[in-house]
């Protein structure tokens, strides 16, 4: 608590009581109520405190945040979120690391204490040039932008914890079959790793219970006269990231974000840290205006309603939403709850004023703004050079010959739902699982026409040359292979009882409303064949005796090790038939694994169809 010995503290107490009296008749509550109150309080504190705000006795701290950058180094397109809506429905075109650098430079001008951080999902980069270079381009750009730290987003776990720590942070080579790394960056240097560190307080190793990276960091700000004051950032990750499709990591588990936040806030407070910020990769939604907030909902607002009043601000990500709100803490005192969009669309700026003696945040003087990363400023040459360098590298990598095909692999299905491309994908998954000692599988299944959701089989591998100038007949380019299969998911090997595996074969025919049915076939690996009878009722169409796996009929009394994409196994395809699988083992990610498969099978010939056949 502040004492009344200090003039600024006395002034502050007065401000506090005025704000509380005028706006906080209730301190509990429903988010909707809380929001309305928060908005009023925000406006009120601005009106009241212009004199106090400029007072030099406080220590000014600027927090700058981006989130869900996802490797969008180049200016984005409309489909990538380049047009955002501001006050009064005004549309602003945003995005691009080159503009981001300029805006950051301007925002930092004249700030003694400026801290720039991310709320996670810096990668995976979805742009090909970033994804196919092991996310190293994103690290080079974030280093150049001066990023200081980041929470772990779910996508930071898309490869592995070792990849995150050893490769992304430390720059050590981390070769995985099909994935190359430690590329030469735009300065001619081999990849050196991030100049910043990752943190999370609620993702732990399942065996030891230890967090995968440190849970929080403390930054020291200049309070003048050679004194420093601490600000702690508690980092939190989407609960359940370890069972999400892309970030499926069997060795990890999540702890409650709220419990970890409150526990650490209490510990930090006890240690004398009086300024604490939550940096969480979870999120919410609160209307369209990127610099305001209405009708908030989502997990970050639940957290905000319950997180310790010792926390001065909550910065979030993951939902790719844009809002800037002041939401009352459990004591009714407003604090920023903000999300700065995605793909470099916004920079959130929070201005804290600290009591120079105690380091406490003078909460009523907190301000928060979401700034559009608009394109009406000059491009920063260094960042645009980095972006252009990697775009050019991406083009080269795309055009690298990878393998040969002697005929077309296409997604065109026969009556049994089989296609040469689908079978190739299933053969790849089976091969990939069996490259891993713990991943060994009896068979592989790949969904080629999901009930709902995305399809991992995204392209054909045609014999005829494509439009790329480097292509010739029969050649598969690196980029063509990358684009033909995968959406960034790992191949998992899991255990299913024989009865459940049989149910998976039956689940290819899905009853629909109105008595119709939908055919949602799986491609099976080359060591599997079966017959089906569509004249029979759904659920009785595949006789287990006709299902041959490695030359033996499907045995309903034994367990099978089955390889499939995580997305399919966790129900992303709209089927629950795999629910309850056990002993998951993570093999390679689809893109890199498929590249490895083609490197190991440099000449591919489509096998005749016929793994699934109608009975008559
Ligand atoms: Zn995310």
pLDDT tens figures, 205-247 = 999 999 999 999 999 999 999 999 999 999 999 999 999 999 9
- First-to-last C-alpha distance (Å) of the chain: 83
Q: Is 528 helix (H, G, I), strand (E, B) or coil?
A: strand
Q: How far is the C-alpha of 417 from the C-alpha of 203, rounded, in Å?
A: 40
The pLDDT of residue 378 is 98
Residue pair 245/566 in contact (Cβ under 8 Å)? The answer is: yes
Residue pair 433/514 in contact (Cβ under 8 Å)? The answer is: no
Report the chain's mean pLDDT, rounded to a whole number.
91
Q: Which two tokens stand for residue 144?
A: 């150049």
Q: Which two tokens stand for residue 412?
A: 């065109």
Pick the CATH number of 7-392 from 3.40.640.10, 3.40.710.10, 3.60.21.10, 3.40.50.720: 3.60.21.10
DSSP per-residue codes, 440-463: --SEEEEESS-SSS--SB---B-S
Q: Which two tokens stand for residue 143?
A: 């280093």
User: 56 pLDDT band (50/70/90 cuts)?
Assistant: low
Q: How far is the C-alpha of 67 from the C-alpha of 344, rounded, in Å?
A: 7
Q: How far is the C-alpha of 436 from the C-alpha of 429, rounded, in Å?
A: 11
Question: How many whole angstroms from 8 Cα to the centroid of ligand 1?
Answer: 41
DSSP per-residue codes, 155-168: GGGSS-HHIIIIII
Question: How many whole angstroms from 199 Cα to the centroid of ligand 1?
Answer: 15
Phi and psi angles of residue 190, each rounded to the nearest 5 degrees, phi first: -70, 150
Question: How many whole angstroms from 564 Cα to the centroid of ligand 1?
Answer: 23
Question: How many whole angstroms from 143 Cα to the centroid of ligand 1?
Answer: 21
The pLDDT of residue 471 is 96
Question: How many whole angstroms from 506 Cα to the centroid of ligand 1?
Answer: 34
Question: How many whole angstroms from 341 Cα to the centroid of ligand 1?
Answer: 11
Q: How far is the C-alpha of 577 from the C-alpha of 591, rounded, in Å?
A: 25
**Whether the predicted pLDDT of 479 surpasses 90:** yes
Beta strands in 317-442 (DSSP E): 322-328, 334-340, 346-354, 367-372, 401-405
Q: How far is the C-alpha of 325 from the C-alpha of 369, rounded, in Å?
A: 9
Q: Which two tokens stand for residue 273?
A: 């840290």
Paired with 496 in beta bridges are 560
**Any residues with CB less than 8 A from the CB of 19 and at least 6 apart, and which?**
41, 44, 45, 48, 364
Question: How many whole angstroms from 129 Cα to the centroid of ligand 1?
Answer: 20
User: 604 pLDDT band (50/70/90 cuts)?
Assistant: very high
DSSP per-residue codes, 70-105: TT--SPPPGGGT-EEE-GGG-EEEB--HHHHHHHHH
Question: How many whole angstroms from 340 Cα to the centroid of ligand 1?
Answer: 13
Question: How many whole angstroms from 405 Cα to the centroid of ligand 1?
Answer: 37
**Whether the predicted pLDDT of 152 surpasses 90:** yes
Q: Tally Cβ neighbours within 10 Å of residue 70.
A: 25
- Write out the residues surrounding ion ligand 1, Cβ under 5 A: 121, 153-154, 318
Residue pair 403/601 in contact (Cβ under 8 Å)? The answer is: yes
Q: How far is the C-alpha of 307 from the C-alpha of 315, rounded, in Å?
A: 13
Q: Which two tokens stand for residue 523?
A: 């491609």
CA 200 remoteness from chain centre: 14
Mean pLDDT value across residues 172-196: 92
Nearest to 28 by CA among 310, 336, 328, 364: 328
Residue pair 614/415 in contact (Cβ under 8 Å)? The answer is: yes
Give the burial class of 603: count Cβ atoms within 10 A of its Cβ; 0-12 exposed, 13-18 middle, 19 or more buried: exposed
Q: Tally Cβ neighbours within 10 Å of residue 225.
A: 6
Place of tokens 């639940």: 302
CA 495 remoteness from chain centre: 27
Question: How many whole angstroms from 245 Cα to the centroid of ligand 1?
Answer: 12
Residue pair 599/435 in contact (Cβ under 8 Å)? The answer is: no
Question: How many whole angstroms from 464 Cα to the centroid of ligand 1?
Answer: 39
Paired with 224 in beta bridges are 227
Strands 149-151, 197-199: parallel, antiparallel or unpaired by DSSP?
parallel
Please state which architecture CATH assigns to domain 400-614.
Answer: Alpha-Beta Complex (3.90)
Mean pLDDT value across residues 530-540: 97
Nearest to 281 by CA among 571, 515, 558, 65: 65
pLDDT tens figures, 436-463 = 999 999 999 999 999 998 999 999 999 9
Entry pTM: 0.90
Nearest to 255 by CA among 295, 215, 292, 222: 215
% of the chain at pLDDT higher than 90? 88
Q: Tally Cβ neighbours within 10 Å of residue 408.
A: 14
Question: Comparing 180-189, 302-311, 367-376, which segment has the lowest mean pLDDT?
Answer: 180-189
Q: How far is the C-alpha of 303 from the C-alpha of 257, rounded, in Å?
A: 8
Residue pair 407/461 in contact (Cβ under 8 Å)? The answer is: no
Q: Which two tokens stand for residue 375?
A: 């394109």
Q: Where in the chain is the domain with CATH 3.60.21.10?
A: 7-392
**Any residues with CB less than 8 A from the CB of 217 and at least 6 apart, and which?**
149, 197, 199, 232, 233, 235
The pLDDT of residue 177 is 80
**Whether the predicted pLDDT of 39 surpasses 70:** no
Question: How many whole angstroms from 593 Cα to the centroid of ligand 1?
Answer: 23
Phi and psi angles of residue 151, each rounded to the nearest 5 degrees, phi first: -75, 165
DSSP per-residue codes, 362-420: -GGG-EEEEEE-BSSSPPPHHHHHHHHHHHHHHHHHHTSEEEEESS-B-----TTS--H
Q: Tally Cβ neighbours within 10 Å of residue 389.
A: 18
Q: Tally Cβ neighbours within 10 Å of residue 270.
A: 8
Paired with 219 in beta bridges are 231
User: 124 pLDDT band (50/70/90 cuts)?
Assistant: confident
Place of tokens 């990697």: 390
**Distances in whole angstroms, Cα of residue 209 to Cα of each of 255, 259, 280, 281:** 9, 15, 20, 20
Question: How many whole angstroms from 239 Cα to the centroid of ligand 1?
Answer: 11
**Whether the predicted pLDDT of 299 surpasses 90:** yes
Q: Where in the chain is the domain with CATH 3.90.780.10?
A: 400-614
Question: How many whole angstroms from 200 Cα to the centroid of ligand 1?
Answer: 14
Q: Which two tokens stand for residue 359?
A: 């380091």
Question: How many whole angstroms from 342 Cα to the centroid of ligand 1?
Answer: 10
Question: How many whole angstroms from 121 Cα to the centroid of ligand 1?
Answer: 5
Buried b or exposed e, range 175-208, using 16+ CB within 10 angstroms: ebbbbebbbebbeeeebbbbebebbbbbbbeeee
Question: How many whole angstroms from 151 Cα to the centroid of ligand 1?
Answer: 11
Q: Tally Cβ neighbours within 10 Å of residue 220.
A: 12
**Whether the predicted pLDDT of 36 surpasses 50:** no
Q: How far is the C-alpha of 571 from the C-alpha of 450, rounded, in Å?
A: 10
The pLDDT of residue 9 is 32
Q: How far is the C-alpha of 16 from the C-alpha of 45, rounded, in Å?
A: 9
Query: 341 or 50, which is more confident?
Result: 341
């Amino acid at each position: 608590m502040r004492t009344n010995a200090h003039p600024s503290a006395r002034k502050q107490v007065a401000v506090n009581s005025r704000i509380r009296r005028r706006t906080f008749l209730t301190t509990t509550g429903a988010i909707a109520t809380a929001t309305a109150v928060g908005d009023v309080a925000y406006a009120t504190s601005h009106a009241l405190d212009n004199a106090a705000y400029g007072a030099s006795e406080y220590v000014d701290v600027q927090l700058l945040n981006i989130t869900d950058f996802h490797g969008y180094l180049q200016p984005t397109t409309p489909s990538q979120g380049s047009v955002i809506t501001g006050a009064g429905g005004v549309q602003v075109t945003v995005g691009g690391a080159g503009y981001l650098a300029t805006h950051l430079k301007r925002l930092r001008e004249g700030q003694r204490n400026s801290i720039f951080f991310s709320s996670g999902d810096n990668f995976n980069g979805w742009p090909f040039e970033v994804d196919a270079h092991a996310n190293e381009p994103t690290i080079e750009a974030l280093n150049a932008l001066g990023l200081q730290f980041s929470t772990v987003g779910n996508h930071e776990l898309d490869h592995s914890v070792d990849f995150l720590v050893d490769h992304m942070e430390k720059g050590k080579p981390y070769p995985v079959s099909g994935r190359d790394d430690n590329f030469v960056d735009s300065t001619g240097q081999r990849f050196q790793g991030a100049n910043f560190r990752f943190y999370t307080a609620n993702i732990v190793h399942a065996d030891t219970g230890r967090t995968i990276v440190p849970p929080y960091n403390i930054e020291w700000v200049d309070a003048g006269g050679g004194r420093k004051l601490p600000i702690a950032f508690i980092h939190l990750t989407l609960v359940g990231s370890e069972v999400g499709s892309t970030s499926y990591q069997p060795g990890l588990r999540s702890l409650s974000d709220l419990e970890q936040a409150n526990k650490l806030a209490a510990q930090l407070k006890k240690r004398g840290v009086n300024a604490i910020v939550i940096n969480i990769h979870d999120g919410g939604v609160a209307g369209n205006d990127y610099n305001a907030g209405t009708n908030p909902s989502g997990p970050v607002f639940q957290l905000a309603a319950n997180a310790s009043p010792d926390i001065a601000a909550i910065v979030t990500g993951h939902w790719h939403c844009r809002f800037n709100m002041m939401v009352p803490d459990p004591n009714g005192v407003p604090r920023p709850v903000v999300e700065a969009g995605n793909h470099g669309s916004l920079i959130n700026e929070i201005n804290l004023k600290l009591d120079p003696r105690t380091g406490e945040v003078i909460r009523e003087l907190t301000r928060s703004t979401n700034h559009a990363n608009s394109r009406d400023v000059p491009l920063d040459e260094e960042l645009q050079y980095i972006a252009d360098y990697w775009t050019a590298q991406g083009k080269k990598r795309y055009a690298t010959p990878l393998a040969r095909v002697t005929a077309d692999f296409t997604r065109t299905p026969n009556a049994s739902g089989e296609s040469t491309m689908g079978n190739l994908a299933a053969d790849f998954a089976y091969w990939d699982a069996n490259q891993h000692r713990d991943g060994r599988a009896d068979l592989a299944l790949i969904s080629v026409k999901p009930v709902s959701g995305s399809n991992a089989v995204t392209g054909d591998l045609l014999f005829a040359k494509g439009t790329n100038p480097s292509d010739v007949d029969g050649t598969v380019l690196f980029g063509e292979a990358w684009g033909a299969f995968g959406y960034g998911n790992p191949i998992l090997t899991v255990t299913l009882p024989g009865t459940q595996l049989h149910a998976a074969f039956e689940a290819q025919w899905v009853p629909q409303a109105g008595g119709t049915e939908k055919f949602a076939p799986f491609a099976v690996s080359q060591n599997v064949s079966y017959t089906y009878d569509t004249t029979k009722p759904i659920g009785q169409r595949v006789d287990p005796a006709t299902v041959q796996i490695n030359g033996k009929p499907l045995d309903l009394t034994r367990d099978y090790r089955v390889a499939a994409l995580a997305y399919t196994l966790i129900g992303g395809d709209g089927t629950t038939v795999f629910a309850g699988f056990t002993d998951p083992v993570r093999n390679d990610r689809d893109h890199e694994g498929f590249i490895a498969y083609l490197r190991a099978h440099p000449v591919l010939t489509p096998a005749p169809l016929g793994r699934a056949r109608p009975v008559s």
